[in-house]
Chains A and B, each alone.
Chain A
């Protein structure tokens, strides 16, 4: 009898938890008829935010991959004192409150910040413009890519790299012909995670870049500002972001299934709890 009660309690907890997670997502799509939601997407605020988000996300993603890949490779393959500390530094923005990150960005790269003088001497202005949005997204989302990329590079069989070198390939050819193709699945997963995180970035962006429609107002910022003006617009944007995020997550899962069935490799990236 007691066993049955415990089992029931576990089952009930599970139902409550899953409903709690699922209900807001369902409500987003049922609160207002879908036709009305689709109609809101042609609102100029939504169109502007879509363009800003697409542009800044693309730039941030390029920045993350171009700087993050070599960083992850070095951290994954070199052993040196202080390496663990550096990896922790890379991971820190994952747990940092985004608003704190925004303030940090202001006092580092803003007009009055540490590098503000240097930047303005070079004619670069990164506050309350799209460059600031890109930096905010890269700061907050980049670590998701770098961390996954480190795991992907670490999972690579070092003998294959050595084999490539003894076959006459230099470090560059080895990287592009052996390392990248074999770590590619993990890198793509990391990029997808970073993209999803970056698209939803709010706190650091609002603090560091502000929320100017058509300039720095991304989709999540538009949700917040439209919420006070027109709930249906906010709902439409939220629904759109949920669809995009779900699509990214699904493609990640399908990608990993496809990869493990194809290569039979022992390596699988893990989407860990803190992600």
Chain B
């Protein structure tokens, strides 16, 4: 498969967007709104001009500011699916798709199950149908790279789940380097093989979902992928044990070897919950508090206690009387904590 390499710097109003990225397969760029994600797509597509940088698909150079190379969008083999789809309102579905390329239009209409809508106007379509037309149109020009800007954000919850599943199936099958921009980590998880977390114009980490969980680059990445992040002050006690005084007053232990102000990262599934019968128990890493919330999601139950969220299986949860206001304690092993020195 072809490889797209992107590296550029572009000063924006509030920060400087800087990115180095080389990838094939399906990659999702996630981050909060305003992180510069969509601008990355604009630079790749030729809709924005960075101050410096280079964009190339294998040895096909699209942008090289040092060499004064800047191909306009129409000369880059790129398929871009816009957030609001940007379908031409004065054309039928078929004309929209054929605008990208006549040769494959009919094949693509069939493939995406929209052949029956060929004569319809975009305004007559549902959100999910528009999404497919936009994708078919982008592919009709036979692109070397596929870019999707927030493909799920303008859909209602029901359609979104269905389209997410479709994209997860379709995208890898195109065999193109594909970049999906989204603010929703769950969407990224569903459609991409690798995920890049971008904040304030910087790519903090790029990896498989497993890699992000195993080794989050920093506290932001950890919290973004759903981990607990609490603040504290670490003091090294031995090479195997670090004592951390949490801002909330509890003393906990970690096996990470760090000194100073830290963010402590603990995954919800590493936290166990017991209801507090008032008896003092001699265990490391106990946080006592009243249950703040109980939320059931699929086969799992999320329980909020003080600064932590724990995730239990339904079976484990069934053995406890979990309800808001009930005194409880949260436990986790020193090995389950990761310390990130705060900058």
* A-to-B contact residues, CB < 8 Å: 157, 159-160, 162-171, 177-178, 181-182, 263-265
Taking a contact as CB atoms under 8 Å apart, the answer to whether B80 and A163 are in contact is: yes
Contact B84 A159 (CB under 8 A): yes
A167 B123 Cβ-Cβ under 8 A:
no
| Choice from B76, B82, B137, B138 contacting A159 with Cβ under 8 Å | B82
Q: Quick check: which of B86-94, B196-204, B288-296, B297-305 contacts chain A, the rest being far away?
A: B86-94
Is the Cβ of B89 less than 8 Å from the Cβ of A263?
Answer: yes
Establish whether residues A182 and B89, one from each chain, have CB atoms under 8 Å apart when the complex forms.
Answer: yes
Judged by a CB distance under 8 angstroms, whether B101 is at the interface is yes
Q: Is B70 part of the binding interface, using a Cβ–Cβ cutoff of 8 Å?
A: no
A168 touches B100 (CB 8 A): yes
- Report if B220 contacts A (CB, 8 A): no
Chain B residues positioned under 8 Å from A160 (CB to CB): 86, 88-89
Question: How many residue pairs at the A-B interface have CB separations less than 8 Å?
Answer: 61
Q: Which residues of A contact B99 (CB under 8 A)?
A: 164, 167, 169, 177
Q: A162-B73, A177-B99 are in contact. List 7 more A-B contacts (CB 8 A).
A: A157-B86, A159-B86, A162-B82, A163-B80, A166-B47, A166-B76, A170-B72
Contacts of A264 in B (CB 8 A): 123
CA distance A167 to B137 in the complex (A): 8
Q: Say how far B45's CB is from chain A's closest CB, in angstroms.
A: 5
B74 within 8 A of A: yes
* B74 in complex: contacting residue of A170, A182, A265, CB < 8 Å: A170
- Report whether over half of chain A's contact residues are helix, strand or loop; otherwise say mixed: helix
B77 vs chain A, min Cβ distance (A): 9
Asked if B78 is at the interface of the complex by the 8 Å CB criterion, the answer is yes
**Which of B73, B88, B101, B123 interacts with A166 by CB under 8 Å?**
B73
Task: Tell me, yes or no, whether B37 is within 8 Å of chain A by CB.
Answer: no
Query: A-facing mask of B115-151, CB < 8 A → 1, else 0?
Result: 0000000010000000000000110110000000000
Q: 28 A-B Cβ contacts within 8 A?
A: A157-B86, A160-B86, A162-B45, A162-B47, A162-B73, A162-B86, A163-B88, A164-B99, A166-B45, A166-B46, A166-B73, A166-B76, A166-B78, A166-B80, A166-B138, A167-B100, A167-B137, A168-B100, A168-B141, A169-B74, A169-B99, A170-B72, A170-B74, A182-B89, A182-B90, A263-B123, A264-B123, A265-B89
User: Which residue in A165, A166, A170, A178 is a CB contact (below 8 Å) of B79?
Assistant: A166
Task: Provide the residues of chain A in CB contact with B78, threshold 8 Å.
Answer: 166
Bound CA–CA A178/B87 (angstroms):
11
* Contact A167 B141, CB 8 Å, known A162-B47, A162-B73: yes
Which residues on the A side are within 8 Å of B141 (C-beta)? 167-168
Give chain B nearest CB distance to A164 CB in angstroms.
7
Question: Taking the nearest CB of chain A, how far is it from the CB of B100, in angstroms?
Answer: 4
How many angstroms from the CA of A168 to the CA of B101 in the assembled complex?
9
Which residues does chain B contribute within 8 Å of A162, judged by CB atoms? 45, 47, 73, 82, 86
Q: How far is A131 from B100 in the complex, measured between Cα atoms in Å?
A: 45
**How far is the CB of A42 from the nearest CB of chain B, in Å?**
45
Nearest to B80 among chain A residues (CB) is A166
Contacts of B79 on A, CB cut-off 8 Å?
A: 166
| Chain B residues closer than 8 Å to A165, beta-carbon distance | 46-47, 72-74
Complex-state Cα separation, A12 to B49, whole angstroms = 62
Rounded to whole Å, the gap between the CB of A196 and the closest CB of chain B is: 27
Q: A263, B74: Cβ atoms under 8 Å? A: no
- 5 shortest A-B CB distances, which residue pairs? A165-B73, A163-B86, A159-B86, A166-B80, A167-B100
Query: In the assembled complex, which residues on chain B have CB atoms less than 8 Å from the CB atom of A170?
Result: 72, 74
CB distance from A162 to the nearest CB of B (A): 5
Q: How far is the CB of B109 from chain A (nearest CB, A)?
A: 16
- Contacting residues, chain A, for B74 (C-beta < 8 A): 165-170
Residues of A within 8 A of B88 (CB): 160, 163-164, 178, 182
**Which of chain B's residues have a CB closer than 8 A to the CB of A166?**
45-47, 73-74, 76, 78-80, 138
A184 to chain B, nearest CB (A): 9
| Alpha-carbon gap, A59 to B247, bound state (A) | 81
Give the CA-CA distance A126 to B78 in the complex, in Å. 53
Q: What residues on A are CB-neighbors of B76 within 8 Å?
A: 166
A167 to B76 CA separation, bound complex (whole angstroms): 9
CA gap between A165 and B99 in the complex, in Å? 11
Whole-angstrom distance between the alpha carbons of A105 and B213 in the complex? 75
